[in-house]
Structure 1
Amino acid sequence: MSFLSNPPTPTEEAIITNDGFFPDIEPLKLRAFARLDGTVTVDRLTYSILSAIASVNAELWQFKSSQQQLGISTLAAVPADQIAGVNVKVIHYLRAVYSAVQADLIEHYRDFDTTGAGDKAAEKLEQRTNDLRRNMRWAISDLLAIRRNTVELI
């Protein structure tokens, strides 16, 4: 009988400072949301968060610019509904970033298990990655208040 143990989940991680308009990302909250344990190192998670922020922010630069021209300095100040005291736009933004991070981690940790069971699991992970990328797209669409479209060419 063998025993495999995951590294301990970090209990402290530095907050990833965003650009001032979009909210900062708290890695510990993301870990809890995505159920990430110590297998995902602090450095790897930080890199994935930075990549996700850069990607989502790039897609939202025009939205940000238009809001700033109206004198709105943060996403949380954009007029929107509040749920549990949180601006809905912020909820959508965090969902987009969290989904992008999870998809990135799955893609980079796929080759972790190279056994036959790992090959079978890879197919399930590919579907999960697609779902996460879709969730990211939908969250961005929801933040921008535009329709979600899924188009498939035959």
Structure 2
Amino acid sequence: MSSFIATAEPGVPTSPTDAATVTNNGWFPDIDLNELRDAMRLDGTVTHDRLRLAAIDAIASINDELQAWQTGQRAAGHADLASVPAPELGGVSTHVLRYRRAVYNLARADLTEQYRTYDATKTGSQHADELEATICESRRNVRWALNDLRGIARSTIELI
């Protein structure tokens, strides 16, 4: 009798250097897929093509949501997101950091939903529950990043 046990995590696939950056609309920053992969700790189970598609969709969604805010900033004379007055951390505008955080977390949430297992075993069900928490936390991080970027309170509390 023989068995095979794979213990190593899948390696991160290499991508062509010209495809490692998703070019944005010129006002919002471009997204480096290698930085996204590192920041969100995505291993080789996420192919480069799937990561690129998830990033493009996340960029489109975030850009759409920020369109009214962007219009106001352009009217105020700001040429791009980095030129909107904001504190800098590590030499980067906090607006740019928050924009990236929103895009990265939305891409991660979408990818995690796609890779969620449908295993009917008890272990598979527990794993799906763990992934559900990751998805919810990622979507919460998107909301917080966008609210912080626009200067909106993070939560609204209503009397029920």
Please report the TM-score for the alignment, with normalisation by the length of structure 1.
0.91
Structure 2's unaligned 5+ residue stretches are none
Matched, 1:110 2:116: yes
Pick which of 104-113 and 122-131 moved more. Answer: 104-113
State the shift of 1:19 in Å: 0.6
Matched residues in 2 for 1:132 and 1:152: separation? 24
State the Cα RMSD in Å.
1.9
Q: What are structure 1's unaligned runs of at least 5 residues?
A: none
Tell me by how many angstroms 1:130 deviates: 0.7
1:3 corresponds to: 5
Most deviating of 103-112 and 87-96: 103-112
Q: 1:9 to 1:56 in 2, by over 3 A?
A: same
The secondary structure found in structure 1 opposite 2:31 is coil
Return closer, same or farther for 1:126/1:64 CA change in 2, 3 Å cut-off.
same
Q: Which structure 2 residues correspond to residues 3-152 of structure 1 after superposition, within 5 A?
A: 3-4=5-6, 5-13=8-16, 14=19, 15-111=21-117, 115-151=121-157
**Aligned-partner SS, 2:139:** helix
Q: Return the letter of the residue paired with 2:4.
A: S
Q: What TM-score results when the alignment is normalised by the length of structure 2?
A: 0.88
Q: Is the 8 A contact 2:15 2:48 kept in 1?
A: no
Displacement of 1:113 in angstroms is 5.0
Contact 1:106 1:125 in 2 (8 A): yes
Alpha-carbon distance in 1 for matches of 2:151, 2:39: 24
Letter in 2 for 1:10: P
Name the amino acid aligned to 1:3: I
Of 111-120 and 42-51, the range deviating more from structure 2: 111-120
Moved more, 62-71 or 88-97: 62-71
Q: 1:124, CA displacement in angstroms?
A: 1.3
Give, in whole Å, the separation in 1 of the partners of 2:157 and 2:78. 34
